Amino acid sequence: MCYVNYVKECISFMEYAANERVSASEQSLWHTLFHLMNQRANGSDWPEGFISIPNARVLLYMNVDEKTLSGARNRLVQRGLIEYIKGDRQSRAPQYKLKYFSTELSTDNPHYVHGCGNYSGNQGGNQGGNQGGNQGGNQGGNRAHLNVNLYGKPNRNPNAYDDDDHEEGEISRAREAMGRIVEDTYLRCIGRAPVPIERQQLITVALDCGMLPDMAEQAIGRAALRNAKSPALYAMELMRDWEHHKVHTMDDLVEYEHKRM
């Protein structure tokens, strides 16, 4: 297992994506894999090797066709951001390994840093290392590491998702509902619709942090009031801060802000 900081990793990838002109489908796939790796994490210890993820599971989050998925996957492999083992439709699902931009000190041995397929060490060099360290450290701060099961259910065998159509339906409906809130609020408060990657990130963070729809709406509205340069990033940071302080409802928020006065 690798010791990974959720916030630093997200920021590092977003900086890399902007600098390297990573396409929307590539970004969507990376965030999907990152989210699914987080589901299999144990606290701050994340999967180091390959994990099996059925195409149907990936497509559920990306909302694209298989051809687009295949193209995005090949480009991420070429960039050195992931490793991929092709599956067999009859017997096994495809396998993915995510190359983390930066890993932190092991919880077992504080003087040892895991290698764990680190992108900055294997391919990114100074760019990946500086982004993962300086950018992630300055902006990510000391946010809590996230390992959130969307519905508070116990973690299960990664390969068991295929057999649980009910849970797939719940997740799909939750994402659709949150997506409508994100789109409507963004258009009303920011003055434009969110681009696909902003929409995907906001939905994922809101659900991972256990936010109700009105809390996601509140976060986007506050980003607009602050005239944030990146409204989506500002709103996501707000929701992560609220989750860290166990703020999930408007009543929680009122109490939290009253205590800070």
pLDDT tens digits along 4-34: 887 788 888 888 888 888 898 899 999 899 8
Question: Angle, nearest 10°, between helix axes 196-208 and 213-225?
Answer: 130
- Lowest-confidence pick of 114-118, 182-186, 233-237, 250-254: 114-118
pLDDT at 57: 86
pLDDT at 152: 37
Residues 25-52: what's their mean pLDDT? 85
Helix (H) / strand (E) containing 45? strand 45-46
Question: Residue 47 corresponds to which amino acid?
Answer: P
Share of the chain above pLDDT 90, in %: 15
Strand order of the β-sheet with 51-52 is 51-52, 95-98, 82-85
Write the CA distances from 76 to 12, 27, 118, 155, 257, integer angstroms.
Answer: 15, 9, 14, 27, 42
Taking the CA atoms of 55, 61, 67 and 73 in sequence, report the sign of the dihedral they define: negative
**From the centroid of its chain, how far is CA 249?**
22
**pLDDT > 70? residue 65:** yes
Tens digit of pLDDT for each residue in 107-166? Answer: 443 333 334 555 544 444 434 444 444 444 444 333 333 443 333 334 444 444 444 455
Residue 143 is given by DSSP the state: P
Interacting residues of 44 by C-beta distance below 8 A, sequence separation 6+? 3, 4, 5, 104, 107, 145, 147
Taking the CA atoms of 19, 21, 26 and 32 in sequence, report the sign of the dihedral they define: positive
Q: Which two tokens stand for residue 21?
A: 């002109």
Interacting residues of 205 by C-beta distance below 8 A, sequence separation 6+? 236, 239, 240
**Whole-angstrom Cα distance, residue 32 to residue 51?**
13
What is the value of pTM for the model shown?
0.47
